[in-house]
Amino acid sequence: MKILLTGGAGFIGSHFVKQAIQSGHEIVNVDKLTYAGNLDNLEEYAQASQHHFYKEDIVNRENVRAIFEKEQPDVVVHMAAESHVDRSIESGDAFLRTNVTGTYHLLTIAHHYWQSLPKEKRLSFRFVHLSTDEVLGTLQPNEDKFCETTPYRPNSPYAASKASSDLFVRAYHHTYGLPIIIVNTTNNYGPFQFPEKLIPVVILNALEQKSIPVYGDGKQIRDWLFVEDHIEALLKLITYGCIGETYCIGGENEWTNLDVVNEICTLLDRIKPLAQGSYKDLIAFVQDRPGHDRRYAVNANKIHQELGWFARHSMQEGLQKTVQWYVDNAERLNTLFDRHRLGLKNNHEKNF
């Protein structure tokens, strides 16, 4: 299939590009290249015939419409989003613009494009929207996990913007018949993640022997999903998912943030030991984030039963791969992230 992917230079998006191409698909990658989007993540596919990159903001409706008309995708996978909760607390403007307005524009374009397709292509077309479990609020320690029928209760500006985008996607299906699938996924981790999320922050700070910040008491619980497992689920959903349905995707790895930090430090103590002491000595508890949700966890039985998908990586296995990758690439990553933060132009763009 030819898949139009938004946000394909980001962490999850770049993994999707690689695994989709390896599975025989062709990718039309539309990405604004904000601070968290980096085409160096896709260096090996920069000149690949199966990868067509457009530097474009999904809010620019006419430009995105032109890409649809030129590339004629079979499927849309919408990942482009502002996603860092701390940034949304500082200012929600970018989250409203990209996550809500951008999604709305993309839906209008996809709807008109879908209507113009011949019948056979209309029947196979899908609009897959990637969302988060954070739209569902927070759980108490012994409360049942989130599932597809859990009411929305977003608690951060980020979560509120994603909840709004989900509802627009749902409305376009029920009002216009657009064949959509919504995915609510748990915390992803793995290689190439931008160093503002917990796991890469911990690893890179530890390697530089800087303080490792832990919010509050560190006992917030998250369900962790190795990014490669997530992409395998998405590729199954594109072909076999039911139109108009929502799917929760989780790794069944509920860990507290503090346990994650301690496990990373234990791995680093073994892989790259310090001359003296342990990386755990760098842990520093800091003031908690405002409105910090206590626990996220999803019940993934629906995708287990309907599609036979299960996460293949335990948390220990996924963290081992992730930590080793960051250790092996630490020097290169510092250069890449510094260069990217400076906004230097990447030469892999395809002009339209």
Instruction: Say yes or no to pLDDT of 29 above 60.
Output: yes
Q: What sign has the CA pseudo-torsion 65, 69, 71, 74?
A: positive
188 has which bridge partners? Answer: 225
- The residue annotated as part of the active site, out of 40, 56, 82, 133, is 133
- Interval 115-160: pLDDT, tens: 999 999 999 999 999 999 999 999 998 999 999 999 999 999 999 9
Active site residue 240: no
Q: Environment class of residue 174 by beta-carbon count within 10 Å: exposed (0-12), middle (13-18) or buried (19+)?
A: exposed
Q: Which of 113, 158, 189, 247 is catalytic?
A: 158
Express as a percent the part of the chain with pLDDT over 90.
Answer: 82
Active-site residue 82, yes or no? no
Homologous superfamily of domain range 2-192+225-252+291-314: NAD(P)-binding Rossmann-like Domain (3.40.50.720)
Give residue 347's pLDDT band: very low, low, confident or very high (50, 70, 90): very low
Catalytic residue status for 133: yes
Q: Which one is predicted more confidently, 3 or 36?
A: 3
What is the pLDDT at residue 345?
35
- Check residue 31 and give its pLDDT: 95
Q: Would you report the helix, strand and coil content of the chain in percent, each value rounded to 5?
A: 45, 15, 35
Mean pLDDT of the 332-352 span: 46
Q: What is the pLDDT of residues 186-211, one digit of tens each?
A: 999 999 898 888 999 999 999 999 99
* Structure confidence at residue 331 (pLDDT): 76
Count the Cβ atoms, other than its own, within 10 Å of residue 117.
14
Domain ranges within the chain, ordered by starting residue: 2-192+225-252+291-314
**pLDDT class for 352, splitting at 50, 70, 90?**
very low
Answer yes or no: is pLDDT of 220 > 90.
yes
Please report the pLDDT score of residue 335 as a whole number. 63
The mean pLDDT value of the chain amounts to 92
- Residue 59 in tokens: 């809010």
The interaxial angle of helices 157-176 and 103-116, nearest 10 deg, is 20
pLDDT, tens only, 262-274: 999 999 999 999 9
92: pLDDT strictly greater than 90: no
Annotated catalytic residue, options 26, 57, 134, 252: 134
Among 74-78, 292-296, 298-302, where is mean pLDDT lowest?
292-296
pLDDT, mean of residues 224-242: 97
pLDDT value, residue 179: 98
Name the nearest CA neighbour of 204 among 318, 329, 37: 329
